[in-house]
């Protein structure tokens, strides 16, 4: 939860609190763009060299996306984290960061990669499985579905209802239509609220003193 809060804080700052008139987007949010301190589990976003301005101010005062004179569109992103509209038209917006954040949250909860190949016994071959698809299936199964989907290394040392709400927040970020995705400021507020709920849960039941964290896929 702490990692999700720190990443949400970072993206909200990039999008809204940089102190500059232009709006920025990171455009490469993924697990390998997040540094985690081993002692405090606090997270920081890196790879800011890929950050770019969302738009440029025109003479009329409105913002429009800048384009090069090249007829070839270069789409930058990472498979599994790219928003559908970015893959379609190559236009980078802050909602692309929101989408990628949703994927990161699902990875943190499930312990799975954004996408991976699994053997399909029915067809006798390998198929690509997305953590988004498995999360949607789990959410459709209610609390029980999410409980089975969450990283099994956590066993039962997490508040299931909070995990379910967190999955729903992530899925909001992963809406196909970017207009339906919330702004990072709103996402941050929801994540902070769930963090407080999880903290209350932990204080009520008590947590084991030796808790380890692994960023590797299960």
Which two structure tokens, joined as six digits, stand for 169?
């927040």
Name the percent of the chain lying above pLDDT 70: 75
**Torsion angle defined by CA atoms of residues 96, 99, 104 and 110, in that order, rounded to the nearest 10 degrees:** -160
Residue 14 has a pLDDT of: 87
Map residue 18 onto helix, strand or coil. coil
Least confident among 2-6, 87-91, 129-133: 87-91
H helices present in 69-153, as ranges: 84-89, 94-110, 131-140, 142-149
Flag whether pLDDT at 122 surpasses 60.
Answer: yes
- Residue 42's Cα: distance from chain center in Å? 16
Q: Helix, strand, coil % (nearest 5) of the chain?
A: 50, 10, 40
What is the residue whose two structure tokens read 């999410």?
146
Burial class (CB in 10 A: 0-12, 13-18, 19+), 186: middle
- The whole-number average pLDDT for the span 121-138 is 83
Mean of pLDDT values over 166-191:
96
pLDDT band at 100 (very low <50, low <70, confident <90, very high): very high
CA 153 to mean position of chain CA atoms: 21
Delineate the domains of the chain, giving CATH numbers in brackets: 2-53+78-198 (1.10.510.10)
CA distance 152 to 213: 12
pLDDT, one tens digit per residue, over 108-120 is 999 998 887 776 6
For the chain, the average pLDDT equals: 79
Residue 158 confidence (pLDDT)? 85
Sign of CA dihedral 119, 124, 129, 134: negative
Task: Output the CA angle 48-53-55, nearest 5 degrees.
Answer: 165
**Cα–Cα distance between 82 and 179 in angstroms, integer?**
16
**pLDDT tens-digit readout, 39-93:** 777 888 887 655 555 543 323 333 434 443 433 344 455 778 999 998 888 888 9
- pLDDT of 215 reads 47
């Amino acid at each position: 939860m702490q990692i999700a809060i720190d990443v949400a804080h970072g993206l909200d700052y990039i999008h809204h609190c940089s102190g500059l008139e232009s709006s920025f987007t990171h455009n490469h949010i993924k697990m390998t763009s997040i540094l985690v301190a081993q002692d405090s589990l606090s997270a920081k976003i890196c790879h800011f060299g890929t950050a770019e301005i969302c738009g440029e101010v025109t003479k009329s005062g409105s913002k429009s996306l800048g384009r090069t004179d090249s007829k070839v569109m270069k789409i930058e992103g990472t498979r599994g984290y790219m928003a559908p509209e970015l893959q379609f038209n190559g236009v980078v917006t802050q909602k692309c960061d929101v989408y990628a954040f949703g994927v990161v949250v699902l990875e943190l909860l499930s312990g799975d990669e954004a996408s991976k190949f699994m053997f399909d016994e029915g067809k006798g071959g390998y198929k690509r499985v997305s953590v988004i698809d498995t999360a949607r299936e789990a959410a459709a199964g209610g609390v029980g579905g999410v409980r089975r989907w969450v990283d099994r290394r956590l066993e039962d040392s997490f508040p299931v209802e909070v995990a379910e709400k967190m999955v729903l927040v992530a899925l909001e970020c992963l809406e196909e239509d970017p207009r339906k995705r919330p702004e990072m400021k709103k996402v941050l507020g929801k994540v902070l609220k769930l963090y407080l709920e999880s903290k209350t849960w932990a204080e009520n039941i008590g947590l084991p003193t030796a808790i380890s964290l692994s960023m590797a896929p299960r």
